[in-house]
Amino acid sequence: MRTRWLFADGEWRTGASTGTIAVDDPATGERVGECPRGCAEDVETAVRSARAAAPGWARTAPAGRGALLRRAAARVREHAGELARLVTAEMGKPLADARGGVEAGAGTLEQYAELGPLHGARSLQGGWGATDLMVREPRGVVGVITPWNDPAAIACGLIGAALATGNTVVHKPSERTPHTGARLVELLAEDLPPGVLTMVAGDRSAGAPLAAHPGLHLLAHVGSTAAGREIAAAARCRVLRENGGKDPLIVDAGTDPKQAAEQAALGCFANAGQICVSVERIYVHRSVAEPFTTCLVAAAEALRMGPGLDEATTLGPLVDRRQRETVHGHVRAAVAAGARLLTGGRIPGGPGAFYPATVLADCTDDMAVLREETFGPVAAVRVVESFDEALALANTGEYGLAATVLTPSLAHAQRAWRELRAGTVKVNAVFGGAPGGAAQPLGASGEGFGYGPELLDEMTHTKVVHLAAL
């Protein structure tokens, strides 16, 4: 069992924090391990180490930084099975999905290893006797606070972009997946100079002092909206945030109900609904509502609920029983307010934090399942009379992360991507897209570019240089 959780100056240390957090397997309830709560003293040690390493790392040639990132990506791939098992043990994701997240993280590291050396600026057209440039420089020390639902992929993206552009990093992984975070840091830091990548473990006892630390030059956070707002309020530097969503799915008239239900089931139930861009509310045209709902119930009931290490599992547990209570509370309140429970919606007996794929019909706009982020395997369905009504309802609420429309109409598809207020709009597929996408979330869902080449811009600041001859 790991006993040292503070990584600074290239080595693991025993931190100053005395409190501990238990980490239990959400499928079995068995103890995976414990990590410290973290404290301001641990944060100070990590930031001091990163600040000391920052000048030397900034002077390292971009190609040299890229070469080290490629080696780190190779190690992540080599240990993908080990990392995936840690993810499954700590947050319950089925093993194949967990490995997919690790592989995606390695791919992102490779992407930034290539893009980093190419990330430049431009020359300006000034007078003949002078040279004018706009150059990109690293910001300095970047704090990276990552969530539990896809811990390897998200951490690799933010850490990779920061390192590729010459920043040093202080990473705080989620207290729900600390073993994954610590092992990932070990793999990434193996060839890096001491202090370039540091880590502090813990919950908000570590996160709060990190967010407010005056030694950071940028803070990147992926997680809940509530936490994101606290971090933004406390930070003394620029903040990048990808936070919660209440992503709508529109099922238009003329859409094949079986295909639409398959997409809806994927969007609602993948990773037990614990994805930032999960489908959280469905607006289906009345003309296809009945067959669509029937097919969606069948898709939900076809999922096999079980532990993530079982290859037959297609629906793992929620991350813990606290999250299960939140999800079940939304379902219970919706049924009490008149929604029809078509399948699921009952807490199973036995160990763990399992919750079945659930379909609710006759949902209304005042229900939490259509307003607040549920973050669980719940499909909340509302029937609409027209595409106009669906668009209007999809644009309600404070979030603006992503939205999906399923339609055979090119005209409706065109209207959807233009009119839906979301950082990402998907037509006829709930997931997917070319690599390198860098959407900006809207409203309560966050701010700033996440991922893609534009993330390199966020990790740097622009300096204008005027060189004139005397």
pLDDT value at residue 451: 85
Give, as one character, the DSSP assignment of residue 367. Answer: S
Residues 6+ apart with CB under 8 A from 424: 277, 401, 402, 403, 433, 437, 439
Residues 6+ apart with CB under 8 A from 470: none
Segment 367-386 mean pLDDT: 98
Which is catalytic among the residues 90, 110, 175, 242?
242
Residues 6+ apart with CB under 8 A from 29: 351, 352
pLDDT value at residue 65: 98
> pLDDT digit string (tens) for 91-106?
999 999 999 999 999 9
465 and 135 Cβ atoms separated by less than 8 Å: yes
Which is catalytic among the residues 35, 93, 156, 172?
172
Element containing residue 34 per DSSP (H, E):
strand 31-36
Position 121 pLDDT exceeds 90: no
Arithmetic mean of pLDDT over the chain: 97
Position 80 pLDDT exceeds 80: yes
Unique residue bearing structure tokens 């929604």: 339
Residues 6+ apart with CB under 8 A from 448: 238, 239, 240, 241, 440, 458
Which is catalytic among the residues 237, 276, 295, 363?
276
Question: Is residue 258 among the annotated active site residues?
Answer: no
Q: For residues 116 and 114, what is the distance between their CA atoms, to the nearest angstrom?
A: 6
pLDDT value at residue 435: 78
> pLDDT digit string (tens) for 402-455?
999 999 999 999 999 999 999 999 999 999 887 778 889 999 999 999 888 999
pTM (predicted TM-score): 0.97
Question: Is residue 246 among the annotated active site residues?
Answer: no
pLDDT value at residue 67: 98
Number of C-beta neighbours around residue 118 at 10 A: 11
Question: Is residue 30 among the annotated active site residues?
Answer: no
In the chain, what is the straight-line distance between the N-terminal and C-terminal CA atoms, in Å?
Answer: 65
Q: For residues 2 and 10, what is the distance between their CA atoms, to the nearest angstrom?
A: 17
Position 167 pLDDT exceeds 80: yes
Segment 177-199 mean pLDDT: 98
Segment 56-67 mean pLDDT: 98
* CA-wise closest residue to 107 among 182, 160, 61: 160
Which is catalytic among the residues 373, 426, 447, 458?
373
Strand partners, 145: 172, 221
SS3 284: strand
Question: Is residue 373 among the annotated active site residues?
Answer: yes
Residues 6+ apart with CB under 8 A from 320: 24, 26, 176, 353
